[in-house]
């Protein structure tokens, strides 16, 4: 994660330096501010559209997975625009504009489907081994709970299952 942050900083500094050497420092600052203003307006507009699409899908009684994914991509684009720099502004706008958002959504869903049906045939395991032990709860009828001083008479609900 530290390497990614360092690469991000290097790329943004190089991009700002390149723009500043072409147009000057004042215009670079104005471009960064204009990008933030236009990006926040676009995030608000596209976020509202995505929210209305999710509500419309829910009211129509159909699965809104496409609309929810669009909403997540718009949110990601908003976060990218919130970060200072030209590269993140461009990536944020690409995540929010409908044509590129559709392409990103399809690529993202393909990748999720591929990782969900991993090499061992199912599910994302993240390298941990899952052990399942079958068991059964048996009531001990020979034990008289009324004479036990440690037991209170309140009902704790159903028996607890301890995992791990």
* 111 pLDDT tier (thresholds 50, 70, 90): confident
Residue 156 inside a domain? The answer is no
In degrees, to the nearest 5, what angle opens at C-alpha 53 toward C-alphas 49 and 56? 140
* More reliable by pLDDT, 3 or 162: 3
Q: How far apart are CA 139 and CA 159, in angstroms?
A: 10
Check residues 97 and 141 and name the one with the higher pLDDT.
97
Q: Is 143 inside any structural domain?
A: no
The whole-number pLDDT of residue 65 equals: 83
The answer as to whether 26 is a domain residue is: yes
Examine residue 21 and state whether it is found in any structural domain, yes or no. yes
d(CA 99, CA 71): 14
Domain count for the chain = 1
Domain assignment present for residue 112? The answer is yes
The most confident of the ranges 22-31, 103-112, 148-157 is: 22-31
Residue 164 lies in a domain: no
List pLDDT tens digits, range 40-55: 898 899 889 989 998 9
Angle at CA of residue 35, ends 14 and 78, nearest 5°:
100
pLDDT digits (tens, 9 = 90+) for 3-19: 988 999 999 999 999 99
Report pLDDT digits (tens) over 113-160: 888 776 655 555 555 677 788 888 777 777 665 666 566 556 667 777
Range of the domain at 42: 13-116
Give the model's confidence band at 86: pLDDT under 50 very low, under 70 low, under 90 confident, else very high: very high
pLDDT value at position 6? 92
Domain assignment present for 59: yes
Residue 138 lies in a domain: no
Report DSSP state, residue 139.
Answer: -
Rg of the chain in Å (alpha carbons)? 27
């Amino acid at each position: 994660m530290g390497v990614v942050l360092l690469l991000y900083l290097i790329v943004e500094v190089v991009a700002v330096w390149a723009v500043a050497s072409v147009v000057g420092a004042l215009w670079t600052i104005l471009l960064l501010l204009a990008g933030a203003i236009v990006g926040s307006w676009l995030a608000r507009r596209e976020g509202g559209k995505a929210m209305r699409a999710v509500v419309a899908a829910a009211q129509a009684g159909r699965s809104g997975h496409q609309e929810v994914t669009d909403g997540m991509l718009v949110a990601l684009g908003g976060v990218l625009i919130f970060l200072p720099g030209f590269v993140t502004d461009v990536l944020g706008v690409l995540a929010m504009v409908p044509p590129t958002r559709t392409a990103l959504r399809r690529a993202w869903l393909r990748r999720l489907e591929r990782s969900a049906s991993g090499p061992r045939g199912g599910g994302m395991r993240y390298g941990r081994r899952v052990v399942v032990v079958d068991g059964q709860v048996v009531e001990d009828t020979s034990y008289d709970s009324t004479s036990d001083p440690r037991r209170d008479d309140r009902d704790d609900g159903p028996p607890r299952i301890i995992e791990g």
